[in-house]
């Protein structure tokens, strides 16, 4: 199509341009998401990584709570084995070395519980008794010992406080740890073995 401002006479190229509906080599503008695709992918990857990290960190925190909520669960099978009578003959032979350090942990949620047990154990002859508080309440009293050398003393303590079978564990730093859930009985230390 000849333009009125076009100074040259029309030729065969002008005739082809009139017949065609497309003029020029123009391309449509790219959409926003295609122009910024690299940035969108980087942001999405960072977001997914952040969500995964938060999930993993959250599970690590819960894993510790579950362990401290019930540290005695794996020992349930050993209690069943001891009920056969195999450990009954060893319990009376347990001789306590009362100079072994003991940690009393208040796991019953009662104010002053560990201090009450500290006084009771010191009156019973235990020389070094420290106190602490558990992160979570427990359902049963238990005595833990770290080293095999303290097993007999731990069992003697467990017998005197009524905590059943002493268990080896490295959860606490003390040589012997008594996880208390209730106050000592009025007759504690009188030799009846109940606490």
| pLDDT tens for each residue of 126-149 | 888 888 888 778 788 888 888 888
pLDDT, tens digit, 9 for 90 and up, residues 45-86: 999 999 999 988 887 765 544 444 455 444 444 444 444 544
- Sequence-distant (6+) residues with CB within 8 A of 17 are 1, 23
Query: pLDDT tens, 182-194?
Result: 887 766 665 444 3
Q: What pLDDT is attached to residue 171? A: 81
Q: Which residues contact 127 (CB under 8 A, 6 or more apart)?
A: 98, 99
> For residue 162, is pLDDT > 70?
yes
**Cα distance from N-terminal residue to C-terminal residue, the chain:** 110
Position 66 scores a pLDDT of 47
Q: What is the dihedral of CA 102, 107, 110, 115, to 10 degrees?
A: 10
Does residue 44 carry a pLDDT above 90? yes
Mean pLDDT, residues 172-180:
84
- Report which of residues 160 and 65 the model is more confident about: 160
Kindly report, residue by residue over 146-155, the tens digit of the pLDDT: 888 888 888 8
164 Ramachandran zone, left/alpha/beta (phi>0; psi -120 to 50): left
What pLDDT does 46 receive? 96
């Amino acid at each position: 199509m000849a333009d009125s401002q076009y100074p040259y006479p029309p030729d065969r190229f002008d005739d082809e341009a009139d017949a065609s509906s497309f003029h020029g080599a123009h391309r449509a503008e790219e959409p926003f998401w295609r122009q910024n695709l690299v940035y969108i992918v980087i942001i999405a990857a960072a977001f997914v990584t952040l969500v995964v990290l938060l999930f993993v960190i959250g599970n690590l925190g819960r894993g510790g709570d579950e362990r401290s909520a019930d540290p005695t669960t794996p020992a349930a099978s050993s209690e069943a084995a001891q009920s056969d009578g195999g450990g009954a003959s060893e319990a009376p032979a347990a001789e306590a070395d009362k100079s072994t350090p003991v940690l009393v942990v208040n796991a019953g949620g009662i104010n002053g519980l560990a201090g009450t047990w500290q006084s009771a154990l010191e009156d019973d002859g235990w020389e070094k008794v420290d106190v602490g508080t558990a992160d979570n309440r427990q359902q049963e009293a238990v005595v833990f010992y770290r080293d095999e050398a303290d097993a007999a003393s731990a069992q003697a303590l467990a017998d005197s406080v009524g905590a059943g079978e002493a268990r080896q564990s490295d959860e606490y730093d003390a040589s012997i740890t008594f996880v208390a859930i209730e106050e000592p009985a009025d007759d504690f230390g009188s030799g009846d073995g109940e606490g």
